């Protein structure tokens, strides 16, 4: 089987979908499934060239719609080489281009029929239509849906969802919503590299912490959606409420510090005398430093207002680290069922409860949560299980198209 993956950008800073492609593509190759990616990044982008699979970069598409005039002709000339196509994400030109290319190719009596799917990656979550600071974008999306995007969704062979919660939420924000198929194929990550002392060294050097410091880890984009303001305020309240009890440091790692929101979060962290030297912002962590951060933390914390899957949550579980998350992360049910962490609301009080409940757990209970975290990863998020579901789903649709 040969799959074409279509995405606007493979830049790691753009979020989880491109990392999901990298994770699943390598796992698929072990099953003999070939993958190629087409995107609208600039060909000389520094984050390209290190992957083990072909990436066709047809940009730069320096516009809000990720439009590249090169994409549609490329699709027309190349889609026939593949058995199926997966479009990662919505609201941008690449999904529209695939829809149009499939329509054009269907006019040829000699062209083979190829199933194509959209993986929304949470982009149909009602959060984006309901959050107060997105009112203008919500209006734009409403009309964009009626004019363009609903036709893209209805044209696709089906939608691929990463978990049941995402599938259910996708039904809510837009009408008409009539996909031909809604398929929960799951999602997962590869096992992390084994721990090595070099990982800890790389992390502590970048973070400028002493190696004996205990810490809680936030690792994601520095973005309002992530609930970082609630996290900082809850942490400040925790220090004040716990008196002389030792409190682990808080490491807030990820890209976005240079944004106005990132600067605002720095200022918030320094607004309290008791906590300002206990919150660290090391920036984006890569490679050994990233895994050193995971392996060295007491627990991973992510109080997001919306998270489709949360690759970093699964990565923490795979490192046997309990996760302290909000119930707006779509895999919270799996975390609760596996007892791999603590779950509360995405409010400041909910985040405070996460932190307070964690620091007041006994060492025995913390150890049990660590054991559960690792088993939760293996049960729900180990990539081999999810990949087999994806391959089986694609094979079924490919077989149907060949018979039609």
Instruction: Report d(CA 152, CA 98) in Å as an integer.
Output: 9
Query: Which residues have a Cβ under 8 Å from the Cβ of 381 and sit 6 or more positions away?
Result: 187, 188, 189, 314, 317, 318, 331, 334
pLDDT at 244: 75
Tokens (6 digits) for 35: 């993958």
pLDDT attached to residue 111: 80
Residue 2 β-bridge partners = 34
Backbone angles phi, psi at 253, to 5 degrees: -110, 140
Q: 75 CB contacts (<8 Å, ≥6 apart)?
A: 6, 38, 97, 98, 101
DSSP result, 91-110: SSHHHHHHHHHHHHHTT-TT
Strand partners, 3: 35, 84
Q: 3.30.230.10, 3.40.50.2000, 3.40.50.360, 3.40.640.10: which CATH number matches 197-381?
A: 3.40.50.2000
DSSP state of 274: T
* Token duo for residue 139: 């209006």
Q: Which pLDDT value is given to residue 404?
A: 64
Distance CA 9, CA 92 (A): 11
pLDDT value for 190: 86
C-alpha angle 377/253/359, rounded to 5°? Answer: 65
pTM for the model stands at 0.82
Place domain 2-190+384-403 in its CATH homologous superfamily: Glycogen Phosphorylase B; (3.40.50.2000)
Edge-to-edge strand list for the sheet holding 299-302 = 279-283, 249-253, 215-219, 299-302, 323-326, 341-344
Mind listing the pLDDT tens digit of every residue in the chain (404 residues)? Answer: 999 999 999 998 887 789 889 988 888 998 999 999 999 999 999 999 999 999 999 999 999 999 999 999 999 999 999 999 999 999 999 999 999 999 999 998 888 899 999 999 999 999 999 988 899 999 999 999 999 999 999 999 999 999 889 999 999 999 999 999 999 998 888 899 999 999 999 999 998 888 889 999 999 999 999 999 999 999 999 999 987 788 999 999 999 999 999 999 999 999 998 888 899 999 999 999 999 999 999 999 999 999 988 889 999 999 999 999 999 999 999 999 999 999 999 999 999 999 999 999 999 999 999 999 999 999 999 988 889 999 999 999 998 877 76
Position 302 scores a pLDDT of: 98
* Fold matches, 2-190+384-403 and 197-381: yes
Max CA-CA distance within the chain? 77
The strand pairing partners of 117, in sequence order, are: 86, 158
Buried b (16+ CB within 10 A) or exposed e, 143-158: ebbeebbbbbbebbbb
In the block, tokens 């912002």 appear at 281
Task: Give CA–CA dist 317/371, Å, rounded.
Answer: 9
**Domain layout of the chain by residue ranges:** 2-190+384-403, 197-381
pLDDT of residue 307: 92
Query: Alpha-carbon distance 335 to 373, whole Å?
Result: 8
């Amino acid at each position: 089987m040969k799959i074409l993956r279509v995405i606007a950008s493979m830049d790691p800073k753009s979020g989880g979908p491109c990392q999901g492609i990298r994770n699943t593509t390598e796992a698929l190759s072990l099953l003999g499934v070939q993958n190629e990616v087409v995107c609208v990044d600039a060909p000389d982008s520094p984050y390209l060239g290190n992957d083990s699979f072909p990436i066709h970069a047809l940009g730069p598409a320096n516009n809000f719609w990720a439009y590249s005039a090169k994409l549609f002709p490329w699709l027309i000339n190349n889609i026939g080489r593949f058995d199926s196509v997966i479009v990662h994400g919505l609201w941008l030109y690449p999904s529209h281009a695939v829809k149009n290319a499939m329509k054009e190719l269907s006019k040829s009596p000699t062209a083979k029929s190829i199933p194509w799917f959209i993986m929304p990656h949470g982009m149909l979550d009602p959060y984006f239509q309901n959050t107060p600071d997105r009112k203008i974008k919500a209006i734009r999306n409403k009309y964009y849906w009626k004019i363009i995007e609903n036709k893209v969704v209805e044209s696709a062979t089906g939608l691929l969802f990463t978990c049941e919660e995402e599938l259910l939420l996708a039904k809510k924000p837009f009408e008409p919503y009539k996909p031909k198929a809604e398929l929960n194929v799951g999602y997962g990550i590869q096992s992390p590299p084994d721990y090595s002392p070099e990982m800890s060294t790389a992390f502590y050097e970048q973070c400028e912490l002493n190696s004996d410091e205990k810490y809680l880890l936030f690792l994601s984009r520095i973005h309002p959606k992530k609930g970082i303001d609630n996290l900082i305020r809850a942490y400040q309240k925790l220090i004040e409420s716990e008196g002389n009890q030792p409190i682990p440091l808080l490491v807030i790692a990820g890209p976005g510090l240079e944004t106005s929101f990132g600067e605002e979060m720095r200022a918030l962290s320094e607004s309290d005398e008791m906590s300002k030297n206990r919150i660290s912002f090391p920036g984006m962590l890569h490679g050994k430093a990233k895994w050193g951060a995971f392996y060295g933390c007491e627990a991973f914390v992510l109080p997001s207002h919306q998270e489709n899957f949360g690759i970093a949550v699964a990565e923490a579980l795979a490192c046997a680290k309990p996760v302290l998350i909000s119930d707006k992360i779509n895999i919270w049910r799996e975390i609760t069922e596996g007892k791999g962490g603590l779950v509360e609301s995405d409010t400041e009080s909910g985040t405070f409860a996460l932190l307070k409940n964690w620091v007041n757990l006994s060492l025995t209970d913390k150890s049990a949560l660590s054991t559960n975290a690792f088993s939760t990863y293996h049960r729900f998020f180990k990539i081999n299980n999810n990949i087999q579901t994806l391959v089986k789903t694609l094979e079924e649709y490919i077989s149907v198209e060949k018979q039609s």
